[in-house]
Structure 1
Amino acid sequence: MTKKIGFLSFGFWQKNNSLVTTARQSYAESVALAVEAEKLGVDGAWFRVHHFADQIGTPYPLMAAIGAKTTKIEIGTGLVDMRYENPFMMAENVMSTDVLSQNRVQLGVGRGSPEQVEDGWRYWGYDYSEEEIKDIARARTLKFLELLKGEPFAQPNAQPMFPQAPGLRRLEPYSPTLQHRIWWGAGSQQTAIWAAEHGMNLQSSTLVNYETTEPFHVQQANQLRAFKAAWQKAGHDFAPRTLVTRSIMPIVSDLDAKLFAEGSQTQDEVGYLAYHQNPTIFGKMYVGEPDQLVKELAEDEAIQEADTILITVPSTLGLDYNVHILKTIMTDIAPALGWK
Structure 2
Amino acid sequence: MGFLTIGLFDGDDPRPGHETTLEIIELGERLGFDSAWVRHRHLQYGISSPVAVLAAASQRTRRIHLGTAVIPVGWENPLRLAEDLATVDVLSGGRLNPGVSVGPPRHFDRVGQALYPDTAGAEDFSYERVRRLLGLVRGEAATDFSGTEGFEVFSDRVQPHSPGLGSRMWYGGASLRSARWAGEQGMNFLTSSVVKAEESEEFAEIQLAHIRAFRAHHPDGERARVSQGLVVIPTDSASAEQRAKYEAFVAQRTPRTAAPQGPARMLFAPDLVGTSDRIAEQLYAHAAFREVDEVAFALPFTFEHEDYVQILTDMATRLGPALGWRPGTAQD
Same fold (TM over 0.5): yes
| 2:152 corresponding residue in structure 1 | 162
State whether residues 32 and 319 of structure 1, in contact with CA within 8 Å, keep that contact through their aligned partners in structure 2: no
State whether residues 40 and 327 of structure 1, in contact with CA within 8 Å, keep that contact through their aligned partners in structure 2: yes
| Alpha-carbon spacing, 1:162–1:318, altered in 2? closer, same or farther (3 Å) | same
| 1:136 corresponding residue in structure 2 | 125
Q: Select the residue among 244, 266, 272 that pairs with 1:258.
A: 244
| Alpha-carbon spacing, 1:270–1:123, altered in 2? closer, same or farther (3 Å) | farther
More moved, 204-213 vs 89-98: 204-213
Q: Which runs of 5+ in 1 are unaligned?
A: 16-20
Q: Which runs of 5+ in 2 are unaligned?
A: 327-332
| 1:229 corresponding residue in structure 2 | 216
| Alpha-carbon spacing, 1:263–1:79, altered in 2? closer, same or farther (3 Å) | closer
1:106 to 2:97 alignment: yes
- SS of 2:198's equivalent in the other structure is coil
| 1:7 corresponding residue in structure 2 | 3
State whether residues 72 and 102 of structure 2, in contact with CA within 8 Å, keep that contact through their aligned partners in structure 1: yes
Q: What is the total number of aligned residue pairs between the two structures?
A: 319
| Alpha-carbon spacing, 1:153–1:85, altered in 2? closer, same or farther (3 Å) | closer
Residue 330 (structure 1) shift: 1.6
TM-score between the two structures when normalised by the length of structure 1: 0.86
Q: 1 CA distance for matches of 2:315 and 2:240?
A: 17
| Alpha-carbon spacing, 1:153–1:278, altered in 2? closer, same or farther (3 Å) | closer
| Alpha-carbon spacing, 1:92–1:57, altered in 2? closer, same or farther (3 Å) | same
Alignment map for 1:73-152 (pairs within 5 Å): 73-111=64-102, 115=106, 118-125=109-116, 127-128=119-120, 136-152=125-141
Q: 2 CA distance for matches of 1:36 and 1:44?
A: 11
Q: 1 CA distance for matches of 2:113 and 2:3?
A: 32
Residue 61 (structure 1) shift: 1.3
Residue 169 (structure 1) shift: 2.2
Alignment map for 1:238-249 (pairs within 5 Å): 239-249=223-233
Q: 2 CA distance for matches of 1:81 and 1:303?
A: 25
**Code of the aligned partner of 1:6:** G
Q: 1 CA distance for matches of 2:68 and 2:104?
A: 14
| 2:330 corresponding residue in structure 1 | none
Q: 2 CA distance for matches of 1:249 and 1:313?
A: 8
| 2:198 corresponding residue in structure 1 | 211
| Alpha-carbon spacing, 1:158–1:103, altered in 2? closer, same or farther (3 Å) | closer
Residue 34 (structure 1) shift: 0.7
State whether residues 84 and 121 of structure 1, in contact with CA within 8 Å, keep that contact through their aligned partners in structure 2: no
| Alpha-carbon spacing, 1:212–1:119, altered in 2? closer, same or farther (3 Å) | same
State whether residues 193 and 226 of structure 1, in contact with CA within 8 Å, keep that contact through their aligned partners in structure 2: yes
TM-score between the two structures when normalised by the length of structure 2: 0.88
Aligned CA-pair RMSD: 2.5
Percent identity of equivalent pairs:
28
Q: 2 CA distance for matches of 1:261 and 1:236?
A: 41
Q: 2 CA distance for matches of 1:84 and 1:199?
A: 23
State whether residues 12 and 315 of structure 1, in contact with CA within 8 Å, keep that contact through their aligned partners in structure 2: yes
| 2:329 corresponding residue in structure 1 | none
